[in-house]
Every structure is written in C-alpha cells, then in structure tokens.
Amino acid sequence: MLTLQSYAKINWTLEILGRRPDGYHELRTILQTVDLADTLHFSLLDHDISVHCDHPDVPTDERNLVWKAASLLRETAGIDRGVSIEIVKRIPTAAGLGGGSSNAAVTLLALLQLWQLDLPLRQLFSLASRLGADVPFFLVGGTCLGVGRGDEIYPLAGIEVSHLLLVNAGILVPTREVYASLPPELTKPEATVKMPLSLELAHEAVSARLNSVRTGAQEGSGHDEGAVPWRAGLLRNDLEIPVLPRYPELAQVRRQLVELGATDSLMSGSGSTVFAIFDNDQTRQEAAATLRGSGWWAEPVRTVGRSEYRSRFSALHRDADHHR
C-alpha cells in the first residue's frame, strides 16, 4: 500500500488573453499549491482498476479522474496491471481548487512507482495535459506560471504566505458557463498576441504585494466597497468578471473577508472558492469562526513550496523542472 497526500491549488492571478482557433481560451495564470489535501491510498490489483471515495458527489467509475489517469497510463505503457485507489476527500469538489486534477497527477506519479514504469517526462506531461488543463501543474507544484490552456507549466520562484483562508459558500459555479459568459473584449482572437509580457516582472510584482505589510489598506477596508483594494492590486482573476454579478453571494464573501481583516481576497480558478490573505493568525482564525457561523466552509491554509511538494515523490520527480 502506498499513501500520498494530494494538495489543492489556488490561482494568484488568472488572465484570459483571448480565444484560440481551437476554441479554448488562452490563459496566463500563476498557480500555487496549498496545504489542504485529499489522501490517496493505492494498493496493487492484478487487472482491475477500482476506485473508492468517501464523498458522495465524487463518481467512482470511469468518470473519476484517477480512474482515467490509471487507465490512460496503463494503455500508454501497454501493460495489464490493476490498482485499487481509495480517495479520502477534504478538498471541496467543483470548487476551483483543482481537487480532481491533483488526484489525477498524484495517481500518475504513484503508479509510475507501483507499476515500475519508466516514462519519459515529456510523455508524462503530455498524458497529464490530456487528463485536464490543471493536471500538469500538479506534477510540479509550488508556484508556477501556466500558459496555453493553463497546462504549459513553468516553475517560478516560490511565493510564501502563511496566513491564508479558503472560503466556500457552497455555490456551484459551472466552469463551462463561466467561460461562455466572458465579455467579448476578453475573447477576441487577436488578444492572444499579448503574450508574452515580462513574466519575471509580473511575478515580482505579485510576490512583493503579497509579502509587503499593507499600510494604507486598513482605512480602505471596511464598509466602503469602492475602497476595497484588491482590484487596484495585482491579484486578479478575469473569471470574476462574469461570475461575481451572477452570484452576488460570492461578491459578499469577498467583501466580508475584507471587513473581517483580510488584506486581499480573490476567487480561485472558476470558483466558487475564495481565498483571502491575512497578516496574522488571530485575525484569520476569528474570520474563519465568523464565516463558519454563517454556515460557510472556511479552512485556514498556507502555501506549499515546490521542495516540500516534491518531497513526497523524491524518487520519482528526478527532473520535472526540466521536462521541456
């Protein structure tokens, strides 16, 4: 039996650069692993792929991403081995935290070891990207830039934040609907020529903002919605443009987090989870207690850097940074 943690992600930034000829959107996103994790138990079987999960909303048949990962790997390697995978879910599902994608990436890495396969990294990344746009990121972890569909991953210097809070108001925001209702200026084909800008500059700016002690922020927080500083800042998620007006409760979560002392807050991915940054643990824990009192799910987390992320797979991850 092999047991591995499968971490969640947030997006520090998510920009839609345009619509591509293949119908996908061209993204530029800075992704980050955080220490909220599912637990995956793997045990070898002769031939079958069998999936169990303690969460009622997660399918355990061939629709499950870990099932798809195992099946695709087996087919690619041309072998007839089996595995039983038990998922203990802690990451809220369909919540913009990448839970399914993370599970799929961890499954690929675990099965390389259990089935004793030696797949070239380039091929591993290509399998991951076929499973889903967020899956390649979870082969690398830490702070990464994602471009293309978000599946072309470039490791960046780590952004470290100790006092994060994830909040989910239990609203289901269908990813497809979000992308379908983007404003036309974000989906012009010519917008893709905006790439590339200075990525290092963008990263430096985000990281400086996250690490700085915000001086003027406190006057700006509170009840004046117009003064909430996140829009002026570098944390940015273009998917909020269609989502917040349609789901006012999410905008309320964002506002309330700032009222409760967060220095910034942003929706993660296509939602509906919002993350917030706090200066200290006490304010964060008080905010978590208040939000839970409103019936919302609130989980304090911290960032997980790449070396910690990869220490789970030290034997497997030989050279994932240099896969390209």
Residues in contact with ligand ATP by CB under 6 A are: 57-59, 63-66, 87, 93-101, 103, 134, 175, 269-270
In the bound state with ligand ATP, the residue whose beta carbon lies nearer, of 101 and 143, is 101
Measured from the CB atom, the residue of 95 and 301 that comes closer to ligand ATP is: 95
Q: Closer to ligand ATP at the Cβ: 57 or 75? A: 57
Mapped to the 3 state alphabet, what secondary structure does 179-205 carry? HHCCCHHHCCHHHHHHCCCCHHHHHHH
Least distance in Å: CB of 88 to ligand ATP? Answer: 11
Structure tokens of 107?
Answer: 């499954």
- Which DSSP category does 62 fall into? T
**8 Å CB contact between 80 and 39:** no
The torsion angle over the Cα atoms of residues 207, 301, 35 and 153, rounded to 10 degrees, is -30
Tokens of residue 291, six digits:
């939000």
Whose structure tokens read 């006012």? 248
C-alpha span between 90 and 94 (Å, rounded)? 12
Least distance to ligand ATP from the beta carbon of 34, Å?
Answer: 12
State the residue number with the nearest CB to ligand ATP: 100
> In this complex, which beta carbon is closest to ligand ATP, that of residue 100 or of residue 158?
100
Nearer to ligand ATP, 217 or 266 (CB): 266
**Other Cβ atoms within 10 Å of 25 Cβ, number:** 22
The encoded tokens of residue 69 equal: 């990962």
So which residues are the catalytic ones? Answer: 9, 134
**Alpha-carbon span 148 to 271, nearest angstrom:** 20
Least Å distance between CB 82 and ligand ATP?
18
For the bound state, the minimum distance from the C-beta of residue 69 to ligand ATP, rounded and expressed in Å, comes to: 9
Smallest separation (angstroms) from ligand ATP to the CB of 110: 13
Q: Cis peptide before 272, with omega less than 30 degrees from 0?
A: yes
